[in-house]
A = this chain, B = another copy of it.
Amino acid sequence: MTDPALPARHDFLRRHNFGLVLTTIAARGPLSRAQLAVDTGLTKATVSQLAERLVSCGLVRELEPARGAVGRPGSPLELDRKGIVGLGVEIAADYLAVCAADLSGAVVIHRVEGRDNRGAAPSAVIDRVAALVHAVREDLQATGRSALGVSVAVPGLVEGGHTVRLAPNLPGWTDLPLAAHLSVALATQLPIEAENEANLAALAELWYGIATDLDFIHVSGEIGVGGGVVVDGAVFRGVRGFAGELGHVTVDPAGPLCGCGSTGCLEQYAGQDALLRAAGVTGDSSTRDGDPNGPLRELVSRAEAGDERTTAALDAAGRAIGLAVAAVVNILDVPTVVLGGIYAPLAQWLVAPVEAELRLRALANRWDPVTVLVSTLGTQAAVRGAAGVCVDRVLRDPVSYFPVLQLG
């Protein structure tokens, strides 16, 4: 929010402090004005003034005074969970999902619709997304809530938060101005943005999952393999926003040819299809219109039964993941790895080889071992992250959504 190339004027102070108060409430739960003053470093007078406006905008709600202690009881302020929500959308290869989250991040509505998006034209998919979002907005209106933004998770490279450059598993999705199209299809002025699903899944893990307050890389196994790096509470997006293509990091230059044209990519060892093939599970996941998780469940049950071919495949995949992640750790110095997507249910066979490779190859591992965690959000991570992004923006800079805060 603070651009060092921009002049700092008076209104910046208000703007910054509104965000400070809101994020403090979000992080530490309901707090009285007095406690907020202590926690933020502002004076009681300032907090009171800011709080009054936040309440009148419907962002914050005053609870009943908490009695019991000596002195006048304070009235705790909490995020108003009844008013505005953020909308998250996920466009996956084989389903669509929409999710509404209130200011606290709690899920209000969550809908998933199985669908083959690989065989459909982008415009048809966008129309279906618009219909789903429209239905969700109507239901929200019935409970008196309204959305203030839409964020879309896409399994591909997204440029500038609006355009899909390339989505390897969604044929036809190249150089597509998704945000603009969806804006037209929805016939709305709502801010709409798109983002890589791996990055959003990582944020969900940060905000609502296993990795609260950590710096980590979230490895999401799907048909491809994505990586979302979170440092200091924010995703590292890279220059053009294409960061995180872990699936095409070279694990062994002498390895098999990959669809991307290179050799020995991680995806060829630990991608869902490669894993199934190596374990000898039949039924390519891409040709099924039925339960997309069937082959994965088969893999898990074979591993549980101790099938040697399966456990060997998982061990090889784990070592490949460990090698690629070790490179990330060496280059980016992240102390934690979160295994997500299909790796979550397979974690018990993956964690040991991943850790072994990290011990061997990650330089910083010696005096400060890299922690390997398992995702708790599973396939819901990306949508929840998307909805969370909308909410997070409001909390950090409410003035940009409610200009009234700045006036009168």
* Chain B residue at smallest Cβ distance from A24: B5
Cβ-defined contact, A332 with B236, below 8 A = yes
A327 in contact (CB, < 8 A): yes
With a CB–CB cut-off of 8 A, which chain B residues contact A232? 239
Cβ-defined contact, A215 with B239, below 8 A = yes
Partner of A41, one of B7, B13, B166, B327: B7
Cβ-defined contact, A249 with B6, below 8 A = no
A40 in contact (CB, < 8 A): yes
Within 8 A of B (CB), among A1-20: 1-2, 4-10, 12-13, 16-17, 19-20
With a CB–CB cut-off of 8 A, which chain B residues contact A157? 363-364
With a CB–CB cut-off of 8 A, which chain B residues contact A42? 7
A245 in contact (CB, < 8 A): yes
Count identical subunits in the complex: 2
Known contacts A157-B364, A165-B367, A253-B251; A239 and B334 CB within 8 A of each other:
yes
Taken residue by residue from 164 to 176, chain A's Cβ proximity to chain B (1 for < 8 Å, 0 otherwise) reads as: 0110100000010
CA distance A130 to B140 in the complex (A): 68
CA distance A62 to B1 in the complex (A): 33
A70 in contact (CB, < 8 A): no
CA distance A59 to B275 in the complex (A): 62
Size of A's binding interface in residues, CB under 8 A: 71
With a CB–CB cut-off of 8 A, which chain B residues contact A242? 333, 363-364
With a CB–CB cut-off of 8 A, which chain B residues contact A117? none
Cβ-defined contact, B10 with A246, below 8 A = no
CA distance A349 to B42 in the complex (A): 60
A194 in contact (CB, < 8 A): no
Interface 9-residue window, one of A254-262, A286-294, A302-310, A379-387: A254-262
CA distance A168 to B364 in the complex (A): 11
Cβ-defined contact, A360 with B261, below 8 A = yes
With a CB–CB cut-off of 8 A, which chain B residues contact A239? 215, 231-232, 333-335
| Nearest 3 Cβ contacts at the A-B interface | A238-B333, A242-B333, A2-B2
